[in-house]
Amino acid sequence: MEFKELVIKARTCRRFSQEGEIPLDVLTELVDTARLTPSARNAQIVRYAVIQDKALRAKMEDVFVLGGALPPDQKPRKGADSPTGYIVLLAPQEITLFGTMDIGIAAQTIQLAATEKGYAACMVGSFKKDAVADILQKEGVSFFDEETGAKLIPYLLLLLGKPGQERELTEVKEDGKTLYYHDERGYNMVPKRSLDSVLVLKK
């Protein structure tokens, strides 16, 4: 598909199908793609933890909550809508603005690459970072990066799997609200501002 089509299709997914898990080698390949992206000063500060093990996934479900903009009856259900894979993005505790950009570039690359393979993703920045660190540490992950000498912390959590809901773009209405919502079909609708409203110069 054309790249713009891929971007349109790569919508945040909060409900994942339990039929057909995302394989560990696919998650690993997504990280392999992300590591090749541009990096500020080519510092390559981002580290990745891949989780596909079912027991670990169950523990990860307790570290985040999805669907804050949705009413209770429309929120994702643990177990029935859970992701079948996770990628944790770690970075130095003392991070710069450039480092934050690197995390964003890596995360967007993973989401686009996952979409191209028929999977979906949800980027979660609000999660229990200490709990995630504890889960990873018990699995032998070191939070001291030997190459840079930096202390690492979890910065971003990516939920992945087969999409379990339809997601579509729509235009921002006259009320100006940009929050996502479910329409009468149960589709997750994502309002986007018009090109004219975001393009401040065209000369």
Condensed to tens digits (0 to 9), the pLDDT of residues 149-174 reads 889 999 999 999 999 999 999 999 98
DSSP label at residue 138: H
DSSP helix, strand, coil percent of the chain (3-state; round to 5): 35, 20, 45
pTM for the predicted model, two decimal places:
0.94
pLDDT at 193: 96
Q: Is 169 helix (H, G, I), strand (E, B) or coil?
A: strand
pLDDT at 88: 98
pLDDT at 160: 98
pLDDT at 1: 84
pLDDT at 174: 87
Condensed to tens digits (0 to 9), the pLDDT of residues 115-131 reads 999 999 999 999 999 99
User: Can you list the residues of the chain whose pLDDT is less than 70?
Assistant: none
> CA-to-CA distance for 23 and 20, rounded, in angstroms?
9
pLDDT at 146: 86
Tell how far CA 148 is from the center of its chain: 25
| H-type alpha helices, the chain | 3-9, 24-34, 54-60, 97-116, 129-138, 195-198
β-strand pairing of 181-182 with 167-171: unpaired
Domains plus CATH for the chain?
Answer: 3-164 (3.40.109.10), 166-203 (2.20.180.10)
pLDDT at 145: 87
What is the three-state SS of 78-98?
CCCCCCCEEEEEEEECCCCHH
pLDDT at 180: 94
> CA-to-CA distance for 159 and 74, rounded, in angstroms?
18
Token readout for 180 is 């996502």
